[in-house]
Amino acid sequence: MAVDAHHAGHAVDHSKPLELSTEEGELKILGFWFFLAQDMILFACLFATYIIMHNHTAGGPTSMQLFDVPGFVAETLILLTSSFTYGLATFEMRRNRLKGMITWMVITALLGMSFVGLEVNEFIHYATTGAMISRSGFLSAFFTLVGTHGAHVTLGIFWMISIMVQLYKKGLNPVTARKAFIVGLYWHFLDIVWVFIFSVVYLPGVMK
């Protein structure tokens, strides 16, 4: 794109993918990358805290006693799949097929909801056995780390729905494409964070 595109305001560069075809799109996507960078540090701090706290159970339940292998494996599979289905939505967007795109987004959101449902279930189950956030340092760190991720996912679902509505109402244009693309970045990012939760929290938590 020409260096001075931002003087032209809404100029569209058709040689680029729709979401990057305007200056606004380019700026917002770059800005979102920086947002993700700071979110990554945020999670890194939570992970560090969790690693320190893992064995500080203060006589309460340990990760070994608590974590339920089929449960977290199911959560993992569902979230990974949802990242893939969002990838398909982006794929349809690049081909300018709105219907296919929205369909995949709906599927993604449904998968996201089942993930959150399972997680809430898991948390409630822990809480009923007395494993609450106030029980020990370990549980504080666990609930905060995994809960922060879950809150991110929940927000992402609502956000995705609102973008679907906008896509439905306005069709595909540089603005809606950019919005859908950014939700996608967010969603994939959360997926990556979950991979870390899986391999830093759950796996070592159930291994001797």
Partner 1 sequence: MSGVQQFLSHFFITGPFEIGGDVSIGLVSIAILFILTRYKLWGWLWREWLTSVDHKKIGIMYLLAALLMLFRGGVDALMIRTQLAIPGNSFLQAEHYDQIFTTHGTIMILFMAMPFIFAMMNIVVPLQIGARDVAFPYLNAISFWLFFFGAMLLNISFVIGGSPDAGWVNYPPLAELRFSPGPGDNFYLLSIMISGIGSVATGINFLVTILKMRAPGMTLMRMPMFSWAILATCIDIIFAFPALTIALGLEFMDRMFGAHFFTVSGGGNPMMYVNLFWMWGHPEVYIVILPAFGIFSEIVPTFARKKLFGYTAMVTSLLLIAIISYFVWLHHFFTMGAGADVNTFFAIASMFVAIPTGVKVFNWLFTMYRGRIRTTIPMLWFLAFVPNFAIGGATGVMLAAAPADYQYHNSYFLVAHFHQVLIGGVVYGMLAGMYYWWPKMFGILLEEKWAKWGYWFFNIGFYVCFMPQYPLGLMGMTRRMYTYPAGMGWTTLNQISTVGAFIMGLGFIFIVWGIVTSILHPVKDTTGDPWDARTLEWSLPSPAPHYNFARIPQIEGRDAWWAMKQKGLTKLDDSTPIVPIHMPKSSGKPFIMGVLFFVAGFGFVFNWFILAALGMVGVVILLFSRSFEYDTDYYVPVDEVKHTEALYGRS
Footprint on this chain of partner 1 (rule: CB under 8 A): 3-4, 6-10, 26-28, 30-31, 34-35, 37-39, 41-42, 44-46, 49, 52-53, 56-58, 133-138, 140-141, 143-144, 158-159, 162-163, 166, 170, 175, 179
Structure-token pair, residue 177: 């494409």
- Among candidates 147, 161, 74, 183, which has minimal Cα distance to 110? 161
- CA torsion sign, 32 to 34 to 155 to 82? positive
Min CB(104)–partner 1 separation in Å: 20
Angstrom distance (rounded) from CA 90 to CA 109: 14
Nearer to partner 1, 10 or 125 (CB): 10
Nearer to partner 1, 125 or 170 (CB): 170
Min CB(5)–partner 1 separation in Å: 10
Nearer to partner 1, 3 or 207 (CB): 3
Question: What number of helices (H) and strands (E) belong to the chain?
Answer: 7, 0
- Reduced to 3 states (helix: H, G, I; strand: E, B; else coil), residue 1 is coil
Angstrom distance (rounded) from CA 47 to CA 141: 9
Nearer to partner 1, 37 or 77 (CB): 37
Min CB(81)–partner 1 separation in Å: 26
Angstrom distance (rounded) from CA 134 to CA 161: 34
Min CB(28)–partner 1 separation in Å: 7
Nearer to partner 1, 114 or 166 (CB): 166
